[in-house]
Amino acid sequence: MTIPRKPLRPGELALPFDPALQAGLAQLQAIGRLRSPWSRGNCPKNLREARERGGAFRAEIDLPFRPALLGLSAGMAVILLYWTGQARRDLAVLNPPHRDGPTGVFALRAPSRPNPIALGVVRLLAVDHKAGVLELDALDAFDGTPLLDIKPWLPSVDVPPER
């Protein structure tokens, strides 16, 4: 798949190769798809903005993976890992408009990165185990984005300790 290449902003740096074209060490299996009102050009930059804008958000889980939903319930916070595969993968340094200058992709949540895996912490509004549908409070992903994994958000584990 060829990813459209916008010109680099001042200070941005592309890798000398495109990770999308390299032989990878892992193979991923999507467990479902994310459903949102978003597409290229109207997608919020983050979950805060998505919550402010509102909309109907859900994850549709493929049939073989629905038994893995056991234990999930409305009100829980979960971590979604999803594939932003339409993003560039060859950028190491970006110069986003909201920053004072160029910043490495590992210090950003931008979708453009060597492995375009996004992370979102969302709240489950409803869970239909049989249909494999999770109603969510927000999403910052294009409609149809492949969902890679779901993990429970655990405050005893996921909140770093104070220094």
Total number of domains in the chain:
1
> For residue 58, what are the domain limits?
28-157
Task: Work out the mean pLDDT of the chain and round it to a whole number.
Answer: 93
> In this structure, is residue 57 part of a structural domain?
yes
pLDDT at 2: 59
pLDDT-derived band at 85, boundaries 50, 70, 90:
confident
> In this structure, is residue 19 part of a structural domain?
no
Q: For 37, phi and psi rounded to 5 degrees?
A: -85, 5
Six-digit token string for 20: 């999308």
Cβ proximity of 60 and 106 under 8 Å: no
pLDDT at 163: 83
Read off the amino acid at residue 151: K
pLDDT at 3: 63
Residues 104-155: tens digit of each pLDDT: 999 999 999 999 999 999 999 999 999 999 999 999 999 999 999 999 999 9
Closest to 146 measured CA to CA, from 55, 56, 85, 77? 85
The CATH number assigned to the domain holding 135 equals 2.40.30.70
